[in-house]
Structure 1
Amino acid sequence: MRLFIGLDVSLAKTAICVVSEHGKIVKEAQIASAPEALVRWIREQDGTIAAIGLEAGPLSQWLHRGMTEADLDVVLMETRQVKGALKAMPIKTDRRDAEGIARLLHLGWFRPVHCKSVSSQEVRAVLGARKAIQQGMIALEMSLRGMLRNFGLKVGAISRGRFDLRIRELAFGNPMLEAATEPMLRARASLRHELAGLERHVRNLAQDDPVCRRLMSMPGIGAVVALTYRSAIDDPARFTSSKKVGPWVGLTPSRNQSGERDVSGGITKAGDVNLRRALCQAATVMMHRGRSTWLRTWAAQVARRRGRKRAMVALARRAGVILHRMWVDDTDFQSDMTVPLAA
């Protein structure tokens, strides 16, 4: 008997549902969320394991790797599709979610998700730490500005290096404001120091990686964008065509068609939000700074026809496609190509 096993993973426990090839529930259980416990339980089952599925999430890649190393056939299932299917159930529990995942496996109605390599997950952890520290520093700066604004003290436009001095100038002579701002300034200085160290580490990672060096040959692509792209794509061979990168990262228009109605909306925003944001930031830099290239000229043509915002999105999508082709072909960016007509 062929078995389809659905796993609904939470931090401490994983709900399991086993469905037969005839669609009947064979067994249900709840096991600790650890690869060893899951492998041991699955191997105790009678029958042929046709597929094991779990929704992509925080623990899923660790569990997927552990079960795959134990020679089990495990598939990561796309989160938005699984959630859309499970919404049809009037009552939501972990047990019912596991059953729903098992039935999706049985029907084949799911989209598999690539499980990233350990090295890519490590790079993403470093980039995540950098982003968290950067956001913490910005939050402190905004809090200081807002605090002083209540007293009519305006910080104004100022560089990061002179920010501390400006805050102390405004708070000088008011003991209460000095007591409030000094701890925040010390915390900001500490975060700024740690951020500088992480920035150096990120630059070194990019310079030591041949793929990132190749990606950075495109104007507007720096160390952060190159590492974000490399860690998100992970394996370029999983895309049969470079053109599939645009839809995968959510930079293609959405469509809602029913009967006589056919509406093209904004971009789908599917896929990796960090990669999509990085490509859009790189496209903005490419359009306004640096040397002129055929890609920048093409974006300017689109901007004249469709507006700057659409041109930025189109450039981000095209840059993602070209970066993939550069990676696959092992070639640097060619800045002296003939300008293609804007589509």
Structure 2
Amino acid sequence: MDLFVGLDVSVNTTSICIMDDAGKLVKEAKVESEPSSISELLGKVDGHYRRVGLEAGPLSQWLLSGLAAAGFPVTCVETRHMKAALSAQINKTDRNDARGIAQMMRVGLFRPVHVKTERSQEIRLLLTARKFLQAKMIDAENNLRGLLRNFGMKVGTVTRAQFENRVMELLEARPHFVLAVTPLLEVRRVLRAQYQILHKAMQRLAADDPVCRQLMTAPGVGPLIALTFRTGVDEAARFRRSRSVPAHFGLTPARYQSGEIDRGRGISKCGDASVRWALVEAAGAIMRRNTRSSPLRVWGMAVAKRRGSLRALVAVARRLAIILHRMWSDNTEYCWQAQTA
């Protein structure tokens, strides 16, 4: 008897629905969100498991690895696609969601998603922690600027290294403010020190990774852009065609068409937002900085003259994604000289 399983995962518990190939319920239960607990329950049911499905989420990578190691044919499905399929239910409960996922696995109406390797997850952890500290450091600086501006004390344009000295200069006129401002400066000092540790670790990681070294030969691509693109793509073989990469990260136009209505909606903005941000940042560096000329920059400037700078920026980001994936797939560096086809 072939069996199909739907897992509705939450932080503490997971609702499980086991269904046979005729759509008959075999077993329903709720266990702890642990690979061992789920594997133990599935092992008590006799039958051949064809598909085990769970939605993509914070615990999906961990649960998928554990269930796969236990020998179950587990698949991670796209959240938006499964949400649309389950939206027809009148009552939304964990039990009904597990039933719906099992039904989708039985009839094959699901869209699998790629689960990133553990190496890419580790790199993403470093990048996320660095971004968090950077954001909090900027928040601390802006908070200090706002508090002092209320009393006419303007910090002005200074570097991060000069920021603290500039604030202390302003406090000389109002020494009684030191009690309130000094703790904020101390918090900023700690955040900056820890941010620099993670920033240097990121640079070392990119320098030691052969794929990132290869990607950094392209214009506008530094350690942060290279690592972000590497973790977003994860494996170059995921995409059969390099032209599919921009669409995967939401850089291609979206369209709404119904009857006589047919209009564009800008880029789709689907997929990993951090990769999309990285590609646009790299495109901005290519277009705006007065650096070494490249065929990509020449092409982008020509697009800007015809369509405007904003559209040219997205177009360059889209083409850069194609180039980076092709470099990775072919194991080649960026060609700075235009070549005839």
| TM bracket, shorter-chain basis | over 0.9
State the partner residue of 1:303. Answer: 304
Counterpart amino acid of residue 213 in structure 1: R
Alignment partners' CA distance in 1, 2:211 and 2:101: 37
Greater shift in the superposed pair: 145-154 or 331-340: 331-340
Output one character per residue of 1:243-270: Cα deviation in whole Å (capped at 9) or x when no partner.
1101111111111111222222111111
Return the TM-score normalized by structure 1.
0.95
- Residue 47 of structure 1 and its aligned partner are, at CA, apart by 2.0
Alignment partners' CA distance in 2, 1:35 and 1:256: 42
State the partner residue of 1:136. Answer: 136
Alignment partners' CA distance in 1, 2:321 and 2:120: 18
State the partner residue of 2:125. Answer: 125
Establish whether residue 326 from structure 1 lines up as the match of residue 307 from structure 2: no
Establish whether residue 10 from structure 1 lines up as the match of residue 10 from structure 2: yes
Output one character per residue of 1:106-152: Cα deviation in whole Å (capped at 9) or x when no partner.
23222111111111111110111100110110110111111112223
Output one character per residue of 1:2-32: Cα deviation in whole Å (capped at 9) or x when no partner.
2211111111111111222222332211111
Check whether the contact 1:297–1:339 (CA below 8 A) recurs between aligned residues. no
Check whether the contact 1:294–1:339 (CA below 8 A) recurs between aligned residues. no
- Residue 175 of structure 1 and its aligned partner are, at CA, apart by 4.5
State the partner residue of 1:50. Answer: 50
Check whether the contact 1:298–1:339 (CA below 8 A) recurs between aligned residues. no
- The DSSP-based 3-state class of the residue aligned with 1:16 is strand
Alignment partners' CA distance in 1, 2:303 and 2:237: 30
- Residue 85 of structure 1 and its aligned partner are, at CA, apart by 2.4
Alignment partners' CA distance in 1, 2:90 and 2:176: 55
Alignment partners' CA distance in 2, 1:60 and 1:188: 35
Residue segments in structure 2 that go unaligned for 5+ positions in a row? none
Alignment partners' CA distance in 1, 2:198 and 2:215: 20
- The DSSP-based 3-state class of the residue aligned with 2:7 is strand
Return the TM-score normalized by structure 2.
0.96
State the partner residue of 2:294. Answer: 293
Alignment partners' CA distance in 2, 1:133 and 1:321: 31
Greater shift in the superposed pair: 249-258 or 210-219: 249-258
Check whether the contact 1:294–1:338 (CA below 8 A) recurs between aligned residues. no
Alignment partners' CA distance in 1, 2:169 and 2:92: 56
Residue segments in structure 1 that go unaligned for 5+ positions in a row? none
Establish whether residue 168 from structure 1 lines up as the match of residue 168 from structure 2: yes
State the partner residue of 2:21. Answer: 21
Counterpart amino acid of residue 155 in structure 1: V
Q: Taking structure 1 as reference, are residues 96 and 198 closer, same or farther at Cα in structure 2, changes over 3 Å only? A: same
Output one character per residue of 1:274-327: Cα deviation in whole Å (capped at 9) or x when no partner.
111111111111111221100011111111111111111111111111111100
Q: Taking structure 1 as reference, are residues 174 and 85 closer, same or farther at Cα in structure 2, changes over 3 Å only? A: farther
- The DSSP-based 3-state class of the residue aligned with 1:286 is helix
Output one character per residue of 1:189-214: Cα deviation in whole Å (capped at 9) or x when no partner.
11111111111111111111111000
Q: Taking structure 1 as reference, are residues 88 and 142 closer, same or farther at Cα in structure 2, changes over 3 Å only? A: farther
State the partner residue of 2:317. Answer: 316
- Residue 339 of structure 1 and its aligned partner are, at CA, apart by 8.6
1:184-203 to structure 2, matched below 5 A, reads 184-203=184-203
- The DSSP-based 3-state class of the residue aligned with 1:168 is helix
- Residue 176 of structure 1 and its aligned partner are, at CA, apart by 4.6
Counterpart amino acid of residue 129 in structure 1: A
- The DSSP-based 3-state class of the residue aligned with 2:254 is strand
C-alpha RMSD of the superposition = 1.5
Greater shift in the superposed pair: 68-77 or 255-264: 255-264
State the partner residue of 2:264. Answer: 264
- Residue 58 of structure 1 and its aligned partner are, at CA, apart by 0.6
- Residue 53 of structure 1 and its aligned partner are, at CA, apart by 0.6
